[in-house]
Chains A and B, each alone.
Chain A
Amino acid sequence: MRAMITAITRRFGPEVPALVGFLAVVVAIFGLAAPRFLSLANFDSMAFQLPELGLLTLAMLVPIISGGLNLAIIYTANIAGLTLAWVLLQFGGAEAGPGAFVLGVAAALLVGAAAGAVMGLVIAHIGAHPILVSLAMMIFLRGLGEFLTRGGDISGFPSYLAPIGHGSVLGLPVPMLIFLVAALVWHVMLTRTRHGFAVYMIGSNIRAAAYSGLHTRRTLTLIYTLSGVLCAVAGILMLTRFNSVRVGHGEALLLITVLACFLGGVDPFGGFGRVLPVVLALVILQVLSSGLNLLGANQHLSTAVWGLFLIGVMILRWVAGKVGQGRKRKDL
């Protein structure tokens, strides 16, 4: 058992066993308290709800690891969604063919990448703090979106888009599949590529990374560009899920993505963090949210429980750190 935990810890990070344990406890509690919690319908519902928050969290993750933050994720997603909607409307709205959809997706990804690239370039070359730059971008994109749509929503899309937001393949919801693929790509990127290595080094100490010959400016630009691309994927998914785009969709999710990153053991000061623990943290947040909803609890209470959960995890982490230190001393 010990050996297995050590192996998991080495492979996926020290957070994983604790988070899996926590998840098991939470699922067991809700399974006892809410009769319908351990039902297929509920797991299906959770699997449909998680991906949009999940994609946005992944978009937040890499900037945080690099020691920054991307506050513009929600609006980048919505602007990308608006781009797709605009292209579809140009080709007749509900009558638009698959070609128009492909074109629209390409345009949306391009817009997401462009929004991210601008942020990345400013952060890399001007040296302004990412919080400031992404905040400015967030305000700009929100204003632009509200100006273009006058705050209203755009709807009326082809019916063949519905399966992307609501369909299942082999029992797995399509949004979930998209999320899992994105998570896998992100995991490989962070652990197996030069870019991933550079991200961690920049997050640990950007000056040392630069002196060691890493191309920090190019890496920073790429970090925010890729974050923008993933936001665009989230935006496209939101469009298919809601069958409409509005600048305000998903506003409430911004801080939850930061919460999920920190729960997943990502260092707020950058340099450390992995994809798998963050995915587990997302699952736990979803279980807490759906479980409390099934019990008919007040939504504000579930927010409070999320906060409590964050504090609990911090205490656990501290305790685990103490235990680890004690063991090391004994070995000496």
Chain B
Amino acid sequence: MIRKLLGTVGGVVLAAGLAVSAQAQDKPSMGIVVKIGGIPWFNAMEMGIKEKGAELGVDAVMVGPTSADPALQVRAIEDLIAKGVDVIGVVPNDEAALEPVLEKARAAGIKVLAHEGPGLVNVDWDFELASVQGFGEAHAELLAQKMGGAGEYAMFVGSLTVPLHNAWADAANAYIAAKYPGMTLIGERYGVAESVDESRKTALDLMAANPGLKGFLAFGSQGPIGAGRAIEEMRKAGEVHVLGPFSPGQGRQLVKDGVISGGFMWNPAEAGRVFVTMGKMLVDGAEITSGTDIPGLGVVEPDVAGKDIITDNLITINAETVDGLADLGL
């Protein structure tokens, strides 16, 4: 009886194993460890990885831990080293925590690629689809155009302690101060953009207190949505502009109603494709130097010392593109 039960449980495990172990031997193999599995952003990335893998003949799999915990990423990378893949890709939760295990991977002769981890040392290359400067400035330019280059605007960030959001905000403010002196920032910046409700309340308060307020720049996925709702409630669509990066699926209706003017993001599916493309290049021994044309990144200017390849491949979210992006599940 016990043996029978063991057999049954074992059979289930084996079936689960065989279902996913369809792999060829001679193809270069690649494992890409992302922050967390099962969320739309990384589902889109996995789609890109699979697509490019099939196209280039690379056996590429994405490993998505069940929670955004660096300890789980370390474990996943150790398993990939044991598996003997040719390339490891990673989107780090915590750069510092991964350094020792990535060092181990490289010592084992494995090529290492990173995305959204510009500070990593033990990598062959890190690539970015958006530079801090470019991302902040693109939003600033769009806001200036919508506001006609003059008037008051307010700045939202996810939280005052999110380094990336604040770096974007700094870049945007510097750009506006230099190019559009007619625009003035009110308040310092508000750390509300990770919450729809707080963004909405803050936007309502700010509009009541500042009749001359013409625009919101919100870095943080919920900021544009919340500020957009506030503008909709006050029936000020077209009069007060809000823009920033947000989830297309969530903001689809507000964009179509003309409440959110738009924003920029980078495409996770493209990042997935670039992972595989660059992984194949590394395995083939291709040199990446200034002027190399990498599909998905364009002609690159790599920072050899920092091992960073930073590009600006932003995609626009607006009334025309929002449906297509939302259909990707983003």
Contacts and interface: CB of A to CB of B under 8 A. Distances in A.
Contacts of A288: 13
B72 A252 contact: yes
Find the residue from A45, A296, A323 having the highest chain B CB count within 10 A: A296
A295 B18 CA distance: 8
Name the residue among A32, A252, A294, A299 with the largest chain B CB count within 10 angstroms.
Answer: A299
Interface stretch (A210-218, A239-247, A272-280): A239-247
B17 A25 contact: no
Interface stretch (B79-87, B145-153, B181-189, B239-247): B79-87
A246 B161 contact: no
B118 to A, nearest CB: 15
A330 interface: no
Contact of A293 (B18, B71, B79): B79
Interface stretch (A114-122, A183-191, A311-319): A311-319
Interface stretch (B92-100, B221-229, B254-262, B309-317): B92-100
The SS class assigned to the B binding surface is helix
Interface string A20-52: 011001100110111010010110111011001
A95 interface: no
B178 interface: no
Interface in B1-57: 1-2, 5-6, 9-10, 12-14, 16-18, 20-21, 23, 31, 37-38
B5 A316 contact: yes
Contact of B1 (A22, A155, A323): A323
Given A295-B20, A297-B20, A253 B71 contact: yes
B241 to A, nearest CB: 32
A301 interface: yes
Given A34-B17, A252-B72, A308-B12, A290 B79 contact: yes
Contacts of B142: none
Contacts of A250: 69, 71
17 contacts: A33-B14, A36-B82, A41-B81, A153-B94, A153-B97, A155-B97, A242-B96, A242-B100, A243-B96, A248-B94, A252-B66, A290-B82, A299-B37, A299-B64, A300-B37, A300-B38, A319-B1
Interface of B: 1-2, 5-6, 9-10, 12-14, 16-18, 20-21, 23, 31, 37-38, 61, 63-67, 69-72, 74-76, 78-84, 94, 96-100, 104, 161
Interface of A: 18, 21-22, 25-26, 29-30, 32-34, 36, 39, 41-42, 44-46, 48-49, 52, 150-151, 153, 155, 162, 165-166, 238, 241-244, 246, 248-253, 288-301, 303, 305, 308-309, 312, 315-316, 319-320, 323
Q: Nearest 10 CB-CB pairs, A to B?
A: A244-B96, A155-B96, A45-B82, A293-B79, A242-B97, A42-B82, A33-B17, A252-B69, A252-B67, A296-B61
